[in-house]
């Protein structure tokens, strides 16, 4: 499926900002199942310094600095992306989940997965996660079946509630509230799997949504999305699952970046020098089928 992805982040302040330094992840990754035809991004006001690079995980990352006084900062990115549903080797999915533990593994790519089996700041092994995961990680259970079962249970046991957590909420808080958003459910699943030594990584990107029957799509009403992927040894593959929507990632998922958790791949972060006492953040995201996007732009 071909998509035109639009992402705009706008900050406004009640006083002048003298200096703004930022880093953003808004450029989709070229992948075996994802082709990136074009991508472009802009920062307003115009930065005095802008540098595009690739981070340690292979993600496209952009650094910028704006020194002109401003009370509004806007970052806008557009991409033309074609996505296919990832395909997995049935034999890889049928291997016991214990083989997805890189520690002590003989797999040639185990060293690449080791970091993703460790606890991270946003995916802490809080009390209760090991026991919660154990109900899915039964001895010898196929890794595909175990990952899917954990995904199903999180979808069933936790409610989606954007008011239950914040961007800094912990896994312990999500467990207590039994509620959260996509970022929280991805962190919870990561903590569950990693507490048993399984390698899994946080994935950030977009999910193409569909309007209710009879309704038109509302431009800019989409949002960034988060899911996770579980290591499949010796296959150079990671099984991508989405606990928020209770499904494996398919051709509606546009992958931007992956890392240990949200902190590694947040769409935008930075620091400012200002006397402002308040600010607002507005984010507009649109993931539209290419034909629809082209028709709208005519």
Residue pLDDT, tens place only, 64-118: 999 999 999 999 999 999 999 999 999 999 999 999 999 989 888 899 999 999 9
The model's confidence at residue 210, banded by pLDDT at 50, 70 and 90, is confident
Give φ, ψ of 129 to 5 degrees.
-75, -35
CA distances from 121 to 126, 181, 190, 212 (A): 11, 18, 11, 38
Report the C-alpha gap between 125 and 200 in whole angstroms: 13
- What tokens appear for 153 in the block? 């249970």
CA distances from 96 to 20, 80, 139, 174, 226 (A): 49, 38, 8, 28, 26
The model's confidence at residue 260, banded by pLDDT at 50, 70 and 90, is very high
- pLDDT beyond 60 at 220: no
Q: Which of 187, 217, 214 is nearest to 292 (CA)?
A: 217
Report the C-alpha gap between 55 and 144 in whole angstroms: 29
Residues 232-250: tens digit of each pLDDT: 997 779 999 999 999 999 9
Higher pLDDT, 211 or 183: 183
Residues 71-80: tens digit of each pLDDT: 999 999 999 9
Helix (H) or strand (E) holding 221: none
Q: What angle do CA 102, 106, 108 make, to 5 degrees?
A: 85
Peptide bond into 45 cis (omega under 30): yes
- What tokens appear for 241 in the block? 């699952």
- What tokens appear for 143 in the block? 């890794």
Report the C-alpha gap between 92 and 97 in whole angstroms: 10
- pLDDT beyond 80 at 294: no
Question: Which residue is associated with the tokens 């997965």?
Answer: 113
- pLDDT reported for residue 32: 95
């Amino acid at each position: 499926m071909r998509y035109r992805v639009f992402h705009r982040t706008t900050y406004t302040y009640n006083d002048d900002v003298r200096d703004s330094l930022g880093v953003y992840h808004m450029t989709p990754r070229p992948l075996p199942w994802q082709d990136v035809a074009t991508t472009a991004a802009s920062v307003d006001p115009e930065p005095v310094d802008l540098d595009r690079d690739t981070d340690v995980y292979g993600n496209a990352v952009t650094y910028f600095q704006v020194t002109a006084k401003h009370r509004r900062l806007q970052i806008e990115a557009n991409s033309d992306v074609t996505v296919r549903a990832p395909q997995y080797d049935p034999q890889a999915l049928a291997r016991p989940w214990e083989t997805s533990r890189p520690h002590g593994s003989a797999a040639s790519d185990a060293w690449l997965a080791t970091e993703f089996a460790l606890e991270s700041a946003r995916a802490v092994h809080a009390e209760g996660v090991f026991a919660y995961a154990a109900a899915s990680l039964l001895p010898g259970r196929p890794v595909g079946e175990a990952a899917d079962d954990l995904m199903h249970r999180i979808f069933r046991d936790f409610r989606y509630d954007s008011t239950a957590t914040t961007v800094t909420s912990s896994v312990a808080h999500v467990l207590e509230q039994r509620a959260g958003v996509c970022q929280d459910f991805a962190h919870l699943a990561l903590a569950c799997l990693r507490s048993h030594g399984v390698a899994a990584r946080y994935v950030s990107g977009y999910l193409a949504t569909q309007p209710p029957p009879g309704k038109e799509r509302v431009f800019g009403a989409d949002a960034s999305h988060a899911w996770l992927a579980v290591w499949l040894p010796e296959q150079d593959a990671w099984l991508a699952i989405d606990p928020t929507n209770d499904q494996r990632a398919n051709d509606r998922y546009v992958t931007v970046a992956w890392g240990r958790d949200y902190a590694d791949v947040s769409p935008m972060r930075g620091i400012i020098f200002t006397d402002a006492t308040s600010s607002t953040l507005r984010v507009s995201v649109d993931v539209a089928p290419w034909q629809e996007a082209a028709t709208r732009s005519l």
